[in-house]
Chains A and B, each alone.
Chain A
């Protein structure tokens, strides 16, 4: 039993290391989701209004929608290359629990795509004239929310990984599931901008995160087995 826990741990860490190494070897591509994030956010002042009052009112929603869309945009890469070169098949053939391997992939994916958003967001918030309380709440919601998006999204990716036009379908499958995160996260930022307490929203997001952490990898692992059968 001890041996298999050690082996499981080694597989988990090994897979995370591998994915981080691969991301590092494609450093230039790491910036794409960030540029995407920035561009979407920038469209709103241009398309709606650059008026400060309007900007700070819509900032929480705009930033969060942009985060949602960038997460969606980068989700596809979670399993695509592994599927194409056969590495995913090998993962399914590993004696280590697939759920563990999936968790490793999701964790690496979040580190590579979610964390940069965390770093970028405060800058964007400043562009939108958000006050410091709101920015802190924004960071907190992103900290809880971006892993949530990776977890929820992974189920959709698992089901569409083998399909040709998987990207569009992925959007349709995953966006409805993102909606609760969007509602509570953007509301938390809006409320904290006017000094209201946002404990309830944060707790709700945390609850969603815990739920996703326990259920999503199981569904994703199952989905991968279905897609590769």
Chain B
């Protein structure tokens, strides 16, 4: 019997923030090679939804399934297949770009070689910054570094919260390229963005009310 193809499914997710019900009955599926963009007004709970998908926050109702099983029943496996980009990028300002990537890889249980780190930095146009402490990098450079970490992770599912923040045209283009490559390799992407994104072949959207 073949393994079920990697697929993310949200069933009847609901989210309560304090006393307000942000959203309920959210259900969708994402298949390999697909990108899903969560849209909604500010404060509609897009970040909360992404956090629920990543297993960080609890869903008031329903469940999130990965390959048919609830994510909380297979935490190790799900997290090995997941790369998450939050608002706070998760970098230490006093470590260099290379050190940050190296430690990030160790945390994930990856064996990232110096060459693959150097190559990724080159792809994202950050070679010159690789030995600089993160404090001195611009917001856009840090954002690109965050995407570099995501692509190094070899995860199937990318959950990206506002990946295009602080990026200029070229930065956006390189991130889009990364995402498209990932999709071509049967990866999955769920993201939020204020901007309209043009990702080939297509981006489905889900509107959060």
Q: Do chains A and B touch in the complex (CB under 8 A)?
A: yes
Interface size on B, residues (CB 8 A): 30
The docked-state distance in angstroms from the alpha carbon of A55 to that of B142 is 55
- Across-interface contacts of B90 in A (CB, < 8 A): 85-87, 89-90
> Is A94 in contact with chain B by the CB < 8 A criterion?
yes
Taking residues whose C-beta sits less than 8 angstroms from the other chain, chain A's interface range is: 20 to 34
Is B56 a contact partner of A95 (Cβ separation < 8 A)?
no
User: Known: A86-B89, A93-B56. Contact between A7 and B109, CB under 8 A?
Assistant: yes
Is B108 a contact partner of A18 (Cβ separation < 8 A)?
no
Find the residue from A13, A96, A97 having the highest chain B CB count within 10 A: A96
The docked-state distance in angstroms from the alpha carbon of A51 to that of B31 is 78
Is A15 a contact partner of B106 (Cβ separation < 8 A)?
yes
The docked-state distance in angstroms from the alpha carbon of A25 to that of B75 is 34
Per-position 1/0 for B163-194, Cβ under 8 A of A: 00000000000000000000000000000000
> Is A84 in contact with chain B by the CB < 8 A criterion?
yes
- Across-interface contacts of B93 in A (CB, < 8 A): 85
- Across-interface contacts of B80 in A (CB, < 8 A): 95
Is B108 a contact partner of A94 (Cβ separation < 8 A)?
yes
The docked-state distance in angstroms from the alpha carbon of A215 to that of B155 is 32
Instruction: For the complex formed, measure the closest distance between the CB of B206 and the CB atoms of chain A, giving whole angstroms.
Output: 22
Find the residue from A10, A89, A93 having the highest chain B CB count within 10 A: A93
Residues 145-193 (chain A) with a chain B CB within 8 angstroms:
none
The docked-state distance in angstroms from the alpha carbon of A97 to that of B56 is 15
The docked-state distance in angstroms from the alpha carbon of A228 to that of B56 is 7
Residues 72-125 (chain A) with a chain B CB within 8 angstroms:
81, 84-87, 89-97, 101
> Is A11 in contact with chain B by the CB < 8 A criterion?
yes
Is B88 a contact partner of A93 (Cβ separation < 8 A)?
no
- Across-interface contacts of A229 in B (CB, < 8 A): 56-58
> Is B86 in contact with chain A by the CB < 8 A criterion?
yes
> Is A136 in contact with chain B by the CB < 8 A criterion?
no
Instruction: For the complex formed, measure the closest distance between the CB of A112 and the CB atoms of chain B, giving whole angstroms.
Output: 14
Is B56 a contact partner of A96 (Cβ separation < 8 A)?
no
Is A85 a contact partner of B89 (Cβ separation < 8 A)?
yes
User: Known: A22-B92, A87-B91, A95-B76. Contact between A15 and B86, CB under 8 A?
Assistant: no
The docked-state distance in angstroms from the alpha carbon of A228 to that of B109 is 22
Is B109 a contact partner of A22 (Cβ separation < 8 A)?
no
The docked-state distance in angstroms from the alpha carbon of A112 to that of B107 is 21
> Is A45 in contact with chain B by the CB < 8 A criterion?
no
Instruction: For the complex formed, measure the closest distance between the CB of A104 and the CB atoms of chain B, giving whole angstroms.
Output: 10
Q: Which of B57, B87, B95, B107 contacts A22 (CB 8 A)?
A: B95
Q: Which of B58, B87, B99 contacts A86 (CB 8 A)?
A: B87
The docked-state distance in angstroms from the alpha carbon of A178 to that of B58 is 33
Instruction: For the complex formed, measure the closest distance between the CB of B157 and the CB atoms of chain A, giving whole angstroms.
Output: 12
> Is B82 in contact with chain A by the CB < 8 A criterion?
yes
> Is B104 in contact with chain A by the CB < 8 A criterion?
yes
Find the residue from B57, B75, B93, B109 having the highest chain A CB count within 10 A: B109
Is B89 a contact partner of A11 (Cβ separation < 8 A)?
no
The docked-state distance in angstroms from the alpha carbon of A229 to that of B17 is 11
Is A11 a contact partner of B106 (Cβ separation < 8 A)?
yes
Is A26 a contact partner of B107 (Cβ separation < 8 A)?
no
The docked-state distance in angstroms from the alpha carbon of A210 to that of B86 is 37
- Across-interface contacts of A10 in B (CB, < 8 A): 106, 109, 111
26 A-B residue pairings within 8 Å (CB atoms): A10-B106, A11-B108, A11-B109, A14-B106, A14-B107, A15-B103, A17-B103, A25-B95, A81-B92, A85-B93, A86-B86, A86-B89, A86-B90, A86-B91, A89-B90, A90-B90, A90-B104, A90-B107, A92-B56, A93-B54, A93-B79, A95-B77, A95-B109, A96-B109, A228-B56, A229-B57
Question: Which 8 A-B residue pairs are closest in the complex by CB-CB distance?
Answer: A86-B88, A14-B106, A7-B109, A86-B90, A90-B90, A95-B80, A95-B79, A18-B103
Q: Which of A's residues lie within 8 Å of B, judged by CB?
A: 4, 7-8, 10-11, 13-15, 17-18, 21-22, 25-26, 81, 84-87, 89-97, 101, 228-229
